[in-house]
Amino acid sequence: MCSIMGFSSKALTTEELEIYFDRTISRGPDMSRIIETKSGYLCFHRLAIMGLNEAGMQPFELEGDCVVCNGEIYGFRPIRRQLSEHYEFKSESDCEILLPMFHEYGLSMFSRLDAEFALIIYDSMTDSLIAARDPIGIRPLFYGYDAAGSIVFASEAKNLIGLCAEVCPFPPGYYYAYGKFIRYADLTSVKSYTRDNLETTCRNIRNKLIAAVDKRLDADAPLGFLLSGGLDSSLVCAISSVVLGKKIRTFAIGMEEDAIDLKYAREVADFIGADHTEVYMTRDDVIKALPEVVALLGTWDITTIRASIGMYLCCKAIHEQTDVRVLLTGEISDELLGYKYTDFAPSAAAFQQESKKRVDELYMYDVLRADRCIGDNSIEARVPFGDLDFVKYVMGIDPAMKLNTYNMGKYLLRHAFENDHLLPDDILWRQKAAFSDAVGHSMVDDLKAYAETVYTDEEFDCKRRKYDYCMPFTKESLLYRELFEQHYPGQAKMIADFWMPNKSWEGCNVSDPSARVLSNYGQSGK
């Protein structure tokens, strides 16, 4: 985890640009460096994860070229051994292989990376910047143009506020070079589906997820695990415990009252023998954290903000009370294998189309939430369900097999691990609960009630009409939008829309993003 910026001009001095760059120093508090290129700058705030000594400090330089990268390059050691025939490596950092790869493969290097990354390369031959982002968008990257029309790249939108008139998310799976954005990877456009039967499919899901978890356990800094008690995070924790062969450190959060998932997280932790920590929050904690959470997220989306408050407060406690620097999480399973609302998908084709949309937009919602809540607390997020091989395979499964015809959401994932007994059966087969609700139903109710105290009905109707883009439709959504505009004025288009179930499907035309309002929620939250 770190923060990067790249300037293609010297319109600012180093002292002036530090004002913008230091807004994200929490992403990389260990060490900072700014270097001048012929026409601009590269900037780096470091959180040391791989190669902890100073030799791993970026920017890396090679024959006049430079690179800064916020990322983890999985399987980098075999690549380094191959490249070491022609290049000398000075650190244990995974990111040191990037410039040798650029020299060997040029722009085709990006499609060769198994990584979560955002990077900026200074190409000395053309005196220009090249930028790229991983295909899921797990690591953040934004861009804009300064007053002189020169492009600027940064890890977070907040780095560019006041510097660029319009701040844009860098599209996942693209690189920018020589004035153009080029897509180098597309994991969600499936030309033909696998012919694997149910048992083969589930066996592949199992093996690929175990491999995805395994590669993300490689870190020189201390590891921890977020454990909600739901299926996805519980599987990540259970697999990690077996792979590492030792006690892991797990963390869960809930309201002081009615925290649904705390009891399930505790059950999982006890079952796998984890060193488990529970974090509690109150209504006052939630309301107090709200402005700070909106500011660090850079979103006005209802469900993202709701789900971020618990995650942020949990990660804040981890940062303040432990030495953990890397957290594994369970995000990205729902987008691939189904939400509660996708039980209403009218056809296999509709399910697949919805899954594609959700994965393509992850960088604006769940992935954004995980990165900001964890990164703002100087910890690195790793997301096994976002593994490129895993995502590509699951997207290629016949969607008819992913439909909930089993009376159990995400049946394929559950069946894949049924015979391993990594988890208690009541956890493996427990119906899904929404994270933003499961930390305590009262949290969402408290946020709604608080918003009611901020605006009268007349104020709500008047103030919401100021926003012609994605107009707020509840007092809660207006509150979030106004908090967002305080920090990111005029930048609402960074987010495509409110995250909501597909309203065109029967049973999904709801007015709140919470799964609690769906008719099939049932016993999920009990």
pLDDT tens-place string over residues 422-433: 999 999 998 765
Q: Is the bond leading into 489 cis (omega within 30 degrees of zero)?
A: no
Q: How many CA atoms lie within 13 A of 463 on its CB side?
A: 18
**CATH number belonging to domain 208-439+495-517:** 3.40.50.620
For the chain, the straight-line distance linking the first and the last C-alpha, in angstroms and rounded, comes to 36
**54: helix, coil or strand?**
helix
Which H or E run includes 31? strand 31-36
pLDDT tens digits, one per residue of 11-40: 999 999 999 999 999 999 999 999 999 999
Note the pLDDT of residue 526: 45
Note the pLDDT of residue 53: 84
Whose tokens are 């026409």? That residue is 39
Q: Confidence class of residue 329 from pLDDT cuts 50, 70 and 90? A: very high
Rounded to an integer, what distance in angstroms lies between the CA atom of residue 345 and that of residue 360? 18
pLDDT at position 524 over 50: no
Q: Confidence class of residue 437 from pLDDT cuts 50, 70 and 90? A: low
DSSP E strand stretches across 124-173: 128-133, 142-145, 151-154, 168-169
Answer yes or no: are the C-beta atoms of 153 and 203 closer than 8 Å.
no
Average pLDDT over residues 442-470: 96
> Which structure tokens are listed for 268?
């999982």
More confident residue, 322 or 255: 322
Average pLDDT over residues 378-395: 97
Q: Confidence class of residue 52 from pLDDT cuts 50, 70 and 90? A: confident
- For residue 169, the Cα-to-chain-centroid distance in whole angstroms is 14
- pTM for this prediction: 0.96
Which H or E run includes 487? helix 475-487
Q: How far is CA 81 from CA 51, 331, 447, 496, in A?
A: 16, 32, 53, 42
pLDDT at position 525 over 50: no
Average pLDDT over residues 281-300: 97
Hey, which residues does 32 pair with through a beta bridge? Answer: 45
Q: How far is CA 399 from CA 193, 202, 386, 402, 416, in A?
A: 8, 14, 19, 5, 16
pLDDT tens digits, one per residue of 474-496: 999 999 999 999 999 999 999 99
Neighbour order of strands in the sheet with 174-177: 60-62, 65-73, 115-123, 128-133, 174-177, 180-183
Answer yes or no: are the C-beta atoms of 440 and 259 closer than 8 Å.
yes
Find the DSSP H helices in 298-363: 302-321, 333-337, 348-360
Note the pLDDT of residue 300: 98
Q: How far is CA 245 from CA 65, 258, 434, in A?
A: 42, 34, 31
> Which structure tokens are listed for 321?
């009370």
Nearest to 265 by CA among 339, 208, 330: 330
Write down the domain spans for the chain.
2-183, 208-439+495-517
**326: helix, coil or strand?**
strand
pLDDT at position 517 over 80: yes
Q: List the catalytic residue out of 2, 69, 95, 315.
A: 2
Query: Can you identify the CATH homologous superfamily of domain 2-183?
Result: Aminohydrolase, N-terminal nucleophile (Ntn) domain (3.60.20.10)
Active site residue 2: yes
Average pLDDT over residues 375-393: 97
User: Among the listed ranges 54-68, 160-174, 251-265, 389-403, which one has the minimum average pLDDT value?
Assistant: 251-265
